[in-house]
Chains A and B, each alone.
Chain A
C-alpha cells in the first residue's frame, strides 16, 4: 500500500502537478483545494506525511500547523515544509519533531522521490 501524502498549497498549478508527480513516483496524493478542506482531510484520513506550503493565504503554513497540533490525532502527523521561501531553522523550531524537514521549491520529481523515499525508509504505512 502506498504512503498517503497530503499536499497543502494555495497554488492550484502546483497542486495539479503534485497530484501527477506523486502518483508517478509511487505515492498516494491527497490534494485538497482549500486549506480548511486540507485540515478536514488531515483529521479524517490521517495522511502519512503532509507537504505544507508556508506562504499561503488566507491562512499561512504556521496557522495550519497550529490548527493541526491542537488535537492529538493530527498533532502526530509528520510535516515536511514545502516552500519557495527561505526559512531559518528558528522559524519552525517551536513545532519540534513534527516538522521533519524542509523542501525548497522548485523541486524536481526525482529529487522529491529521493527525499520521500529516504523519509519513509524503515517506516511502515499506518494501516
Chain B
C-alpha cells in the first residue's frame, strides 16, 4: 500500500489512544469496564444473552495478543466480574459453574493469545538496558522508550512519551525513508542517521525497526559506541599483531643465539677431544689432562644447555612435528633405565604389563621418561627407590613415576615446569645436570602428544609424577 509508506507530519491521534495501545493491562481493564457497560445496556434492552459477552472478550484477547497470559487473566477476571455484577442484579447463578466458566475462559483465552500471531518482539521491552523505542504506526508519536534511549537524548522516558518522531529525527528525507520502509511492512536494519537530543545535541546512530500491528518497534545502536568498539577491536588486533611479531622476534633471537653459541664450540670440542685422546702426541701430562677433561665436560654442559634452550623455544613456537606410533611402554622404560644406568643408582620397580601400549611419538616419550626418571634419581638419597607404574581406564592411560626422594614444597609444585626453575637454586652452579629445563621440556612434549602431566609431592617422602594420556587408536583418533 503506497499511502502507508507516506510519513505524515502530524495527525489528530490522541495521546490517550496511544497509551491505550501501549499499556495492554490498562487497556484490558478499560475494555472490561466498557464491556460491562455495553452488556448492561444490551441486557437492559433485552438484546444480550448470558454468556455471549465472551465474544468481545475474545476480541480483546486477539487485540492484545502480545500480552499473552496477562490478557487472559484480565479477561477471565472480567468474566468473573460481569457474572458477579449480574448476580447482584438478581441474576441467578451457580457459584461452581462461575468458577468452572472462569477457568474455561482462562484456558481458552490463554490459547487465543498464545496462538495469535504476535507483534514483533519489542527490543525496548526485552532489554531495558538497550536504547530502543516504539512508534505509533499512524501518528508516529513515541509510545514507549527505554531509559537508555531517553538518556541518549538527554531526556526522560515520560518526557519522550507522545513526542512526535520528527522532533528527534529532524532530517525529513531520513525520516521519510525509515518510516516509508516500515510502513510497507519491511524490516529496517542499521539505518544510519542522526537523532537530535532535547538539548539539540546530535547523536549519530544506526536505527533498526520492525513493523508491528499497531506500533513500530525500533532499536538504536549508538555510532559513537560502535566507533569506540571498532577502535578497541583495532587496538586488540594491533596488540595481537605486535605479540606475534615479538614472538617471531624472540624465536628468531633464540635460533640465532643458539647458532652463534654453538659455532665457536665446534673447534673447541674438536681440539679438546684431540688433545685428551692423544695426550702423548701433544705432550700433555696427567694434571693438564685432568684440566682439559674439566674443560671438555663444561663444553659438553654448554652444548646441552644451548640445545635444550633451542628445543624449548622450538616447542613453544609449535614447530616440532609429532608423529604417533604404537609404543610398548615397558620396553621403552627399560630402554631409558639402561641408557642412563639408573638401575645401578636406584631400585627400579616396574609395574607395567608387557602388552601395555601407548600411542605417542617414541622419541618424545623417551625424553619425557628420561627426564622424569633422572629427576627421581637426582633429587634423592640412598636407598633410592623409583617405581614406574601403568594404569588405564576406558578413556585414559596413566604412566606414574614415583620416588622416595626429598620431595618438593607445595608452593613450588607448579613452578617446577617453568624454565630454569630449580627447587634449590644454589645447585645450579654445582650440578650441571640440574639446569632446570628437563621438566619444562618434558611437559611440553607431553602436551604435544596430547597428554597432561601432574605432580604430587610430600617433603621427605618423595614425589609422584603422573602422565595422563587420552586413549587413541592407531590412526591417532
Q: Which A residues are within 8 Å of any B CB, using their own CB?
A: 11, 13-14, 16-18, 20-21, 24, 55, 83-86, 88, 104-110
Q: A55-B259, A85-B259, A86-B314 are in contact. Are A110 and B273 (CB under 8 A)?
A: yes
Q: Is the interface of B mostly helix, strand, loop or mixed?
A: helix
Shortest beta-carbon distance, B281 to chain A, in Å?
10
Evaluate contact between A106 and B269: CB separation under 8 angstroms. Answer: yes
Q: CA A53 – CA B403 in complex, angstroms?
A: 45
Q: CA A31 – CA B262 in complex, angstroms?
A: 21
Residues on A with C-beta less than 8 A from B314 are 86
Residue pairs across A and B with Cβ atoms less than 8 A apart, 27 shown, are A11-B266, A11-B267, A14-B263, A14-B266, A14-B267, A14-B270, A17-B267, A17-B274, A21-B273, A24-B274, A24-B278, A83-B259, A84-B265, A86-B255, A86-B259, A86-B310, A104-B262, A105-B263, A105-B265, A105-B266, A106-B265, A106-B268, A106-B270, A106-B299, A107-B266, A108-B269, A109-B277
Contacts beyond the supplied A13-B266, A85-B255, A85-B258: 18 A-B pairs with Cβ under 8 Å: A11-B263, A14-B267, A17-B267, A24-B274, A84-B262, A84-B265, A85-B259, A105-B262, A105-B263, A106-B262, A106-B265, A106-B269, A106-B303, A108-B269, A108-B273, A109-B273, A109-B274, A110-B273
Q: CA A38 – CA B310 in complex, angstroms?
A: 30
Query: Which chain A residue shows the least CB distance to B321?
Result: A89
Q: Which of B264, B268, B307 has the largest count of A CB atoms less than 10 A from its CB?
A: B264
Residues on B with C-beta less than 8 A from A85 are 255, 258-259
Query: Which chain A residue shows the least CB distance to B274?
Result: A20
Shortest beta-carbon distance, A13 to chain B, in Å?
4
Residues on B with C-beta less than 8 A from A104 are 262, 307
Residues on B with C-beta less than 8 A from A107 are 266, 269-270
Whether B339 sits at the interface, judged by CB under 8 Å, is no
Whether B51 sits at the interface, judged by CB under 8 Å, is no
Residues on A with C-beta less than 8 A from B273 are 21, 108-110
Could you tell me which residues of chain B, from 263 to 306, have a CB within 8 Å of some CB in chain A? Answer: 263-271, 273-274, 277-278, 299, 303
Shortest beta-carbon contacts, A-B, top 6: A84-B262, A106-B265, A17-B270, A13-B267, A106-B266, A17-B267
Could you tell me which residues of chain B, from 390 to 431, have a CB within 8 Å of some CB in chain A? Answer: none
Query: Which chain B residue shows the least CB distance to A82?
Result: B266
Evaluate contact between A84 and B267: CB separation under 8 angstroms. Answer: no
Shortest beta-carbon distance, A18 to chain B, in Å?
7
Whether B319 sits at the interface, judged by CB under 8 Å, is yes
Residues on A with C-beta less than 8 A from B278 are 24
Shortest beta-carbon distance, A108 to chain B, in Å?
6
Q: CA A104 – CA B311 in complex, angstroms?
A: 13
Shortest beta-carbon distance, A112 to chain B, in Å?
8
Q: Which of the residues A14, A24, A84 comes within 8 Å of B258, measured between beta carbons? A: A84
Q: CA A11 – CA B265 in complex, angstroms?
A: 12
Residues on B with C-beta less than 8 A from A88 are 319
Q: Which of the residues A18, A83, A84, A86 comes within 8 Å of B270, measured between beta carbons? A: A18
Q: CA A85 – CA B263 in complex, angstroms?
A: 9
Q: CA A107 – CA B255 in complex, angstroms?
A: 18
